[in-house]
Structure 1
């Protein structure tokens, strides 16, 4: 009888230990599953955030005008005669009244250059075979190649590189506007990016501030 009771006691103790081990293993398994789930969520969240950041960075690093990507490395023109009697001098603080592109109207700007030259509104076909760009404002005489005088209706080759796929494009003059022609630095009202040496604006598209 004593041996039988001892055996029963040992069996119960073993069973208890087995149950405790099972509970512990189950808890550990649940914890591991929770940790794995958290890792998956974190990875998914991180991927989503990174993807969103990529979209934002791509958007913020690219400016569009007339459906074409703008050249963000524009420089002041060389060889153009500077306008000495223009209403706004280099360094003048102005507000833009032009709507050539989104984020331009009412933008705060500084005049970076002012030149004695007429401006031309043109239609042109981008060199990448994209859609015809209509009524692009503006280019100046030195940025157009044509036979004879530059006037409305004249066929031209565009030499300007304000935007990619613009240089070398075939087009025609839609309108001629008397100078002076302005180059400005301005802060885009939508993206808050600073646009350096943006070409071109007319005097009537600037307002003193």
Structure 2
């Protein structure tokens, strides 16, 4: 008669159950890790999107040395005199529009909007405001017309200096160098170049 070893059978069943349990736990942890990985990927993507938004403006040199290009002439009768206050109506960067500016310099020149591909790579910059005539390399005194190709000798943005750009628009006006405080984070900006006369309004 066949005799069954009860203890051996119980041990076998116990070990089998234990292995099945460990396998189930491993699968659950794997699924959890995959789920967590997806969440991290979404969070990382959100962070990258935010970083890209910051980069749009983060590569702009908001403050400057106060030096101006050679040959740039001071305005004879600017609407906003040096030392006076004005409200900035332009939004070249977040926190700029609506801030109170102190006029540091006023100059008569031709201002251009330009499009170019940064020397550092990346997407093409369209209709950048502003580059002035005196910041263009190897040009004569006559104002340039839209469509002309020029070399920029200024570093308002990272990858701008030395780049070949296309003139999008040209306007003879008074430009201002200004100090102001960003409305977004309270950061002080010194000697910002440039703001046009149309982009300023009187302080009430």
Q: TM-score normalised to the size of structure 2?
A: 0.66
Q: In structure 2, what is the equivalent of residue 200 of structure 1?
A: 194
Q: TM-score normalised to the size of structure 1?
A: 0.65
Alignment match of 2:66 (pick from 44, 68, 75): 75
1:95-151 Cα shifts (integer Å, max 9, x gaps) = 100111111110111000001111111101111012111110001001112566511
| 3-state secondary structure, aligned to 2:146 | coil
Q: In structure 1, what is the equivalent of residue 101 of structure 2?
A: 109
Alignment match of 1:84 (pick from 58, 76, 94): 76
When Rg is computed on C-alpha atoms for both structures, the one with the higher figure is 1
1:132 and 2:107 aligned: no
Q: Note closer, same or farther for the CA distance 1:167–1:78 as it changes in structure 2 (3 Å cut).
A: closer
Q: Is contact 1:183–1:197 with CA below 8 Å preserved after alignment?
A: yes
Alignment match of 2:154 (pick from 144, 155, 160): 160
Q: In structure 2, what is the equivalent of residue 171 of structure 1?
A: 165
Q: In structure 1, what is the equivalent of residue 145 of structure 2?
A: 151
Query: How many aligned positions are there?
Result: 148
| 3-state secondary structure, aligned to 1:204 | helix
Q: Note closer, same or farther for the CA distance 1:73–1:201 as it changes in structure 2 (3 Å cut).
A: closer
Q: Is contact 1:76–1:183 with CA below 8 Å preserved after alignment?
A: no
Q: In structure 1, what is the equivalent of residue 175 of structure 2?
A: 181
Gaps of 5+ in 2: 1-50
Distance 2:160 2:195 in 1: 18
Distance 2:139 2:100 in 1: 39
Distance 1:103 1:117 in 2: 26
Distance 1:192 1:154 in 2: 39
Runs of 4+ in 1 over 3 A off after TM superposition: 63-67, 71-74, 146-149
RMSD: 2.1
Q: Note closer, same or farther for the CA distance 1:123–1:66 as it changes in structure 2 (3 Å cut).
A: farther
Q: Is contact 2:60–2:156 with CA below 8 Å preserved after alignment?
A: no
